Amino acid sequence: MELLPICDKALKIALDIGCDEAEIYASTIKRIEVFFEKNDLQIARSQIEDGIGIR
């Protein structure tokens, strides 16, 4: 997911509703897990988390 346009929109909304200042931050976390048993792949998972915050 492209977070920059979402952050831009959040900043615009904050300023439009009358905030003098606003801080927008974003993060993306990618997690990959693999589980082996006796040298044999049992489970492989991938997860991506995106989020933004406004202060």
pLDDT > 90 in the chain, percent: 98
> How many whole angstroms separate alpha carbon 10 and alpha carbon 51?
12
Q: pTM for this one?
A: 0.66
Question: In this predicted structure, what is the pLDDT of residue 32?
Answer: 98
pLDDT, tens only, 31-55: 999 999 999 999 999 999 999 999 9
Structure letter (DSSP) for residue 18: T
> How many whole angstroms separate alpha carbon 34 and alpha carbon 3?
28
Domain count, the chain: 1
pLDDT, tens only, 1-32: 799 999 999 999 999 999 999 999 999 999 99
Question: In this predicted structure, what is the pLDDT of residue 1?
Answer: 76
Range of the domain at 46: 4-54
